[in-house]
Amino acid sequence: MSQQAVPSQPEALSPPAKEAAGRTRYRLLHHVAIPWLFILPILLIHIFVVTIPAITGIYYSMTDWSGIGAANFIGLENFRKLFFEDQAFGRALSNNIVWMVFFLTVPFILALMAASLLARIRRGGMIYRTILFIPYLLPSVVTATIWRNLMNPRLGVGAQLAKVGIPGLDIAWLGRSDTALLSIAFADNWHYWGFLMVLFLTAMQSIPMELYDAAKIDGANRWQEFRYVTLPGIRPVVLFMLMMTAIWSFLVFEYIWILTQGGPAGASEVLGTLVYKNAFNRFEAGYGAAQGVTISLFAGCIILMFIFLRRRGWEI
């Protein structure tokens, strides 16, 4: 029996080759096929619910679609109008930026302060956490309605204080161009910062106590502990939430819609309310889609910025 006969029978593999082929099959099955099978349902849902509508939205942003019937392709005309003609878009964008600056500062400062204080409470801490977290669980329509009543110039808190001799707060917070946007941000923040606080608190509790002990031995005061131990310890969570809050700032809609619908005189108009009005009130769904795509681009820029920082070594 000659050895040359072996290649003519490839199926007759040597035991090591059989073993290697078996390992390959095993790897394919367990490391490729089965994981894909597990994510297949959610992948299909994502394709139909996110990917296809997103691509459709990009297409409609380049049409004159009214929201009903046929859509005619008009290229980049909607984007030209958006960036070079539409003053309302510019005003709304500047309001979104004000909103973003507010939400990247006020709730973060409040949440960090509250979390660092609560982290030290050993007894009854859960009660405080629950109380501060409850507003986040309330539906936005409930929170907004409560604050609309509280800020009412004739019946709200300011009016009641004025009755007992404390004037100055009985103004129409939501009816003035200079206060409307920040008043809505205040109401939204009331519901939001408790959520941030819980996230930060959870992150703080994972910081080893030895680090604080070491800092104390080194003579660190409370501020230095916070600055050099706590903040570095929770930095990934803080940075992630900064990124998410910046993205959400471009998507804000419901509080503004419920409280002022973008008024008075456009003072609280943001991109979200503008998109809604164009798509559903003005019958300019194609133009609204262009605005929606632009909002997504802004959000994409924020994500890119954080990816860039991560590559530079930031822990995010």
Partner 1 sequence: MTTNRYLVALIVLLLLSTSVAAAQDKPTVSVWFNAGSTPSCTAPLIVDGFNSSSDVAQVEIVEQPNQWDVTRTAVTGGGGPDIVISPGPSFVFEMAAAGLVLPLNDYAAELGWNDTFVDWALSLGEVDGTLYSLPHELETLILYYNKTLFEANGWEPPTTMAELVTLAEEIAAAGIDPFAHGNADWRPANEWFVGEFFNHIAGPEAVYEALTGQRPWTDEVFAESIDVLNQMQENGWFSGGLELYFTTDEPARMAALGSGEAAMNIEGTWRFSNIDTYFGEEAGNDNEWDWVPVPSATGDAIFTIGIGSTWSINAASPHPDAAAAFLTYFFSPQVQALLLAECGQAPAPVNLEADAMEGVDPRIAGAFEAFAESSNEGNYGYTTWTFWPPKSDVYIYEEIERVWDGQITTVEYLEGLNAVFAEELAAGEIPPIPERE
Q: 57 or 264, CB closer to partner 1?
A: 264
Question: CB of 189: closest distance to partner 1 in angstroms?
Answer: 20
Contact assessment for residue 288 and residue 272, using Cβ atoms and an 8 Å cutoff: no
Residues at the interface with partner 1 (CB under 8 A) = 66-70, 148, 151-154, 171-172, 174-177, 260-267, 277, 280-284
**Closer residue to partner 1 in complex, CB, 48/280:** 280
Q: ∠ CA(10), CA(13), CA(18), 5° rounding?
A: 130
Give me the long-range contacts of 115-124 (CB less than 8 A, separation at least 24). Answer: 115/197, 115/198, 115/200, 115/201, 115/204, 116/204, 116/226, 116/230, 118/197, 118/201, 119/201, 119/204, 119/205
Backbone angles phi, psi at 131, to 5 degrees: -60, -45
As a whole number of Å, the CA-based R_g of the chain is: 28
Tell me how far, at minimum, the Cβ of 30 lies from partner 1, in Å.
42
CB 158, min distance to partner 1, A = 11
Report, in Å, the least distance between residue 171 CB and partner 1. 7
Q: Around Cβ 188, how many Cβ atoms within 10 Å?
A: 23
CB nearer to partner 1: give 66 or 202.
66
CB 63 within 8 A of CB 285: no
Of 61 and 249, CB closest to partner 1: 61
In the complex with partner 1, the residue whose CB is nearer, 118 or 151, is 151
Tell me the β-bridge partners of 73: 63
Nearer to partner 1, 173 or 298 (CB): 173
Beta bridge partners of 63: 73
